[in-house]
Structure 1
Amino acid sequence: MDLSIDQALDLAIQYHQQGKLNEAKSIYEAILKSSPQNHHALNLLGVIHLSEGHIDSAIQLISKSLKIEPNNPRALVNLGLAHDTKNNIKTAQELYQLALQLDANMPEAILNLGGCYFNNKQYDLAQSQYERLLKLSPNHSDALNNLGKIAENKGATGVAEKYYRRAVKHYPKNSTALVNLGHLLVQEGKFEKALPYLNKAIEANPYSALAHYNRATVLLRLGQFKQGWYDYEWRIMNRAGRRYLLNPATRAQLPAPSTLMPIELEGKKIWFLGDQGIGDELFFLRFIDRLKSSGAIPFVSISEKLEPLVKRWGHVILSSENSSDTAIDYIFSLGDLPLITGMSCHSEIPGSIQMSPLQNKIDQVNQDLAKMPRPWLAITWEGGTRNDERQLHKHIPLEQLLNSISQWHGSVLIVQREPNNEDIEAVKSMFGNRMCDCSEMNNDLEYALALLNQIDRYIGVSNTNMHLLAMTNGTADVLVPLESEFRWMAKGDKTPWFPDFNLYRQSSDHTWNTALKQLNKKLLNS
């Protein structure tokens, strides 16, 4: 080596800072051949290994550097990051704490320690670290963003918005701050206000799946369908971390339909996969006839529970019934049917698929409920997936819902999927023997279709039952939370997707008082 060790190390660090990792890596390795105990080269080579995804070798290199120089706070933080990546949170936390014992004001150690607490849902401890960091750097973008997330998790959305706005003010091109603010405004039902921030987030980072997906929910609610469907495609990246679906046969990633547009549909055999829940599968099947009118031949893979209904509907070929030697031209998600078929305005919204319930199921329903006095009111109070930040969960407090229907003079049927015993007892305590737990219907969709066809009224949040109800031309009183699916639009008491349904919206202060008063008044007048 023509350069001295110190000169070579300086050059390698310069390359490293410029992002020329291969050049930096070669020099670090050359230094270690000449000087195997050089703790700087060991540490920094470990950092490169970590960036390349070679976590175990990164841990070995950085650990070796710390055996030589145990009082290097930066190496301790780097080793903590490596363990963090392996989800060894406890070890990472201990390493960050050791680093802070050596350098109490080291921003990276404070930030990462806060991250450990945050990931463990120890929000108060995380908050103390981020506030500590703000004292050192009053406008630290990560600290502001993370404090906003903590405030959100605690339900303090006003505080969260202030943190995000502060981050955006000081870092107007910070995509994380922009998308966090936009996402919060979407959750608050402030769709028009969210849109500019989501647009800026995508300008700053065109690959932000969360920004694209949130913009999709806004645009689709506002009736701006053309761009909305393109953005909606990013839901898969947002949820699964990959750009599009995997081929079920080869497990290779499939091309997103937006990369193939415009798609020639005439004579093409297209296999559609469900990538969301049963309700969404039913919802998007309404586009199948529009696709077929373009000359395409659709095959569908859907939830097993839904197969008997769709088979009876008869408008598509189920993949389970398709010969394996059929040559398929494209594989797409059911959720991208609107994009593929070019739906762009309200007048092109197709109605729900239509089906009549089976007579033997109707007879079974009437036999099962023969002792329940008419009229029959079916209720639900939850929809979606609980305890999963990536999935939408809709909920109205059951006590408030029950109070609003307390004067119902007929029977109340629980059609909620998997209600807990406490909820069942709450309904029973109000309606006594006029309450019937029909939640088992969710395990037999043909039975559910018949029951929903026979009820006199339905009140609840959006779930699969709404789609089944629409299939039989039923009506519903839909309780729409601030954060809900795009199909309930941005405002108003009607939606073009379900024109016979009546909507009652949660207020901007997150209360249901106004919506339930309106619902109660309508019940009393009916």
Structure 2
Amino acid sequence: MPSTEETLQQAWKIHQQGNAAQAEKIYRDVLQHEPNHANAWCYWGIAMHDLRRYAQAVQAYENAIRLQPNFPIAWNNMGNSLRYIGRVADADAAFQHALDQSPQYFNALRNRGTLHAWTGRIDLAFEYYYQAMQLNPHDAELHRNLGVIHLLQGNFREGWKEYRYRWQCAEAIQHRYPQPKWNGESLEGKTILLYAEQGLGDTLHFVRFSEILSKKGARTILHIQPQLLAILQQCKGIGELVPNSLQVETPFDYHCSLIDVADILGIDASNIPSQVPYLFAKPSLISFWANGLQRAIPPSPFRIGLNWQGNPDHQADMFRSFPLKSMECLAELDGVQLISLQKGKGTEQLEHWQGKKIIYCMPEEVDQSSGAFMDTAAILHALDYVVTSDTSLAHLAGGMGIKTCLVLGFTPDWRWLQYRSDSPWYPTLRVFRQTAIGEWNPVLQEVAEFLRGEFAKPRVN
């Protein structure tokens, strides 16, 4: 019969293979027999964190530390879990305990830097990242994180250089082809494979570079998420679309990530390609939904589309999505009709809406038959403004040239830069920024006041 330590090591191997749920059951079984085993509590905490049950992870680490106070790994891990539930001061204190017990603890320094990058203390983020750099100057995740901060600050040259390290991170999906990666060579008469690298919003954002390369003489093949095939068929400058669930059969000369194209072209704040629209709704669907809304919803001087919840699995969702309740101030606007563009997670909040105006909801079949974003894109043409959190809808509306109010958390994604109320990527997008973490009501009130002023202007056909 294996010993407790052997059982934990076997479970850890299973955990490292990506099966946190199975490993968690083994850790829990060990704890049922040995509830005072500090390492088992720490392992179980890691599993809870990886299963996104962060509060239980914190409790597990607290138990481990109670049994073994000098436990820097548990302190560091607890700091990470506290970060994900927004307990910033407690997370920082946990990292300090880890460093007090192990001053050369690289992961604690790097994680502490990430805590402060997430919460807007860029000065402290740099401080801890550079301390970590002294211990491990070649760590890819550390360089990538520094790249994100530089890009956020508008330091594109340094940002792109550091951000390239993301391809060396463990979670990076490598694209290995016998053809060379494009590094700026002439594309006249050449075919280039461009692939999606991150989420749907990122693809909608960077797909603009396909047309730019086509104007340089390239034939482009886009290897993208299957959900986007329909909406991107309307784009200019795309030679071929292939879902990334399938292999590319067409011969090509070069390959490149859509995001890397921006890096290779030397994109910075002075030359961001901002021509919109480059995303288009299907004309037949625009007519269909214009007529459908006219029949289903009473006429109104102004219509606002609402979206408040992004992907709940995004690691920074707690800093990006906001509660629907914070939009109640929009219901105070005169002559305004509110229309929900929210789908999936977040729609349950509609049951608790207490605003002075009702929110009209679109039918459940939206985007089901025509393809993802197809109906939504057509519906956007029937709206005067969109108010949204930082999610793929912001990129869809921005890329279509729809007037949009983007509501950002205190420390946003790098592409929105800092301090600006506009976006150099999307000229019809207006940015509204939190001034304190977790405080959404003031920024939505700012949106309401802006829209009140917009709707008071003479209407131009």
- TM-score normalised by the chain length of structure 1: 0.71
Residue 78 of structure 1 and its aligned partner are, at CA, apart by 4.0
Within the alignment, does 1:329 sit opposite 2:260 as a pair? no
**Whole-angstrom distance in 1 between the partners of 2:307 and 2:180:** 36
- The partner residue of 2:425 within 494, 497, 513 is 497
Within the alignment, does 1:479 sit opposite 2:407 as a pair? yes
2:407 aligns to what SS in structure 1?
strand
Aligned AA for 1:272?
L
Match of 2:174 in 1: 245
Match of 1:194 in 2: 125
Match of 2:231 in 1: 309
The question of whether the paired residues in 1 share the 8 Å contact of 2:409 and 2:437 is answered with no
Match of 1:175 in 2: 106
State the Cα deviation string for residues 162-220 of structure 1 (Å, max 9, x = none). 22244446655432112211111121122343133234434533554442333232111
- The partner residue of 1:376 within 281, 303, 311 is 303
State the Cα deviation string for residues 25-82 of structure 1 (Å, max 9, x = none). xxxxxxxxxxxxxxxxxxxxxxxxxxxxxxxxxxxxxx5xx6xxxxxxxx64244222
Identity %: 21
Aligned AA for 1:372?
P
State the Cα deviation string for residues 231-284 of structure 1 (Å, max 9, x = none). 43455665xx3554245xxxx7x8995xx7565655542211213232211101
Matches within 5 A, 1:57-456: 76-87=4-15, 88-92=23-27, 110-120=38-48, 121=53, 122=56, 123-134=58-69, 137=70, 140-168=71-99, 171=102, 173-206=104-137, 208-235=139-166, 238=169, 241-247=170-176, 261=183, 265=187, 267-320=189-242, 326-343=250-267, 345-351=268-274, 353-355=276-278, 356-370=280-294, 371-374=297-300, 375-383=302-310, 385-387=311-313, 389=315, 394-418=320-344, 422-427=348-353, 430-432=356-358, 435-437=360-362, 440-443=365-368, 444=371, 445-456=373-384
What is the CA RMSD across the aligned residues, in angstroms? 3.5
Aligned AA for 2:269?
H
Summarize the Cα distance change of 1:267–1:223 in structure 2 as closer, same or farther, 3 Å threshold.
Answer: farther
Higher helix fraction: Structure 1 or Structure 2? 1
Residue 313 of structure 1 and its aligned partner are, at CA, apart by 1.9
188-197 or 92-101: bigger deviation: 92-101
373-382 or 309-318: bigger deviation: 309-318
Match of 1:457 in 2: 385
The question of whether the paired residues in 2 share the 8 Å contact of 1:415 and 1:441 is answered with no
The question of whether the paired residues in 1 share the 8 Å contact of 2:152 and 2:418 is answered with yes
The question of whether the paired residues in 2 share the 8 Å contact of 1:287 and 1:337 is answered with yes
The question of whether the paired residues in 2 share the 8 Å contact of 1:291 and 1:341 is answered with no
Match of 1:25 in 2: none
Summarize the Cα distance change of 1:390–1:459 in structure 2 as closer, same or farther, 3 Å threshold.
Answer: closer
408-417 or 148-157: bigger deviation: 148-157
**Whole-angstrom distance in 2 between the partners of 1:440 and 1:396:** 25
Summarize the Cα distance change of 1:133–1:352 in structure 2 as closer, same or farther, 3 Å threshold.
Answer: farther
**Whole-angstrom distance in 2 between the partners of 1:223 and 1:465:** 24
May I ask how many residue pairs the two structures share in their alignment?
Answer: 431
Summarize the Cα distance change of 1:255–1:320 in structure 2 as closer, same or farther, 3 Å threshold.
Answer: closer
**Whole-angstrom distance in 1 between the partners of 2:322 and 2:382:** 25
Larger radius of gyration: 1
1:431 aligns to what SS in structure 2?
coil
Aligned AA for 1:437?
M
Residue 295 of structure 1 and its aligned partner are, at CA, apart by 4.3
**Whole-angstrom distance in 2 between the partners of 1:98 and 1:420:** 40
Match of 1:518 in 2: 446
Aligned AA for 1:148?
G
**Whole-angstrom distance in 2 between the partners of 1:288 and 1:389:** 28
Summarize the Cα distance change of 1:228–1:168 in structure 2 as closer, same or farther, 3 Å threshold.
Answer: farther
Which stretches in structure 2 are left out of the alignment for 5+ residues? 16-22, 455-461
1:447 aligns to what SS in structure 2?
helix
The question of whether the paired residues in 1 share the 8 Å contact of 2:109 and 2:131 is answered with yes
Residue 441 of structure 1 and its aligned partner are, at CA, apart by 3.8
**Whole-angstrom distance in 2 between the partners of 1:516 and 1:92:** 44
Aligned AA for 2:155?
Q
Aligned AA for 1:127?
E
State the Cα deviation string for residues 87-136 of structure 1 (Å, max 9, x = none). 444444555787897xxxxxxx62343222442343323312124322xx
Which stretches in structure 1 are left out of the alignment for 5+ residues? 1-62, 67-74, 102-108
Summarize the Cα distance change of 1:442–1:222 in structure 2 as closer, same or farther, 3 Å threshold.
Answer: farther
**Whole-angstrom distance in 2 between the partners of 1:143 and 1:213:** 25
Aligned AA for 2:312?
R
1:454 aligns to what SS in structure 2?
coil
83-92 or 455-464: bigger deviation: 83-92
**Whole-angstrom distance in 1 between the partners of 2:365 and 2:315:** 27
Summarize the Cα distance change of 1:324–1:377 in structure 2 as closer, same or farther, 3 Å threshold.
Answer: closer
Point out which structure has higher relative CO (alpha carbons under 8 A, 6+ apart): 2
- TM-score normalised by the chain length of structure 2: 0.80
Match of 1:105 in 2: none
Aligned AA for 1:431?
K
Summarize the Cα distance change of 1:390–1:265 in structure 2 as closer, same or farther, 3 Å threshold.
Answer: farther
The question of whether the paired residues in 1 share the 8 Å contact of 2:179 and 2:253 is answered with no
**Whole-angstrom distance in 2 between the partners of 1:97 and 1:426:** 41
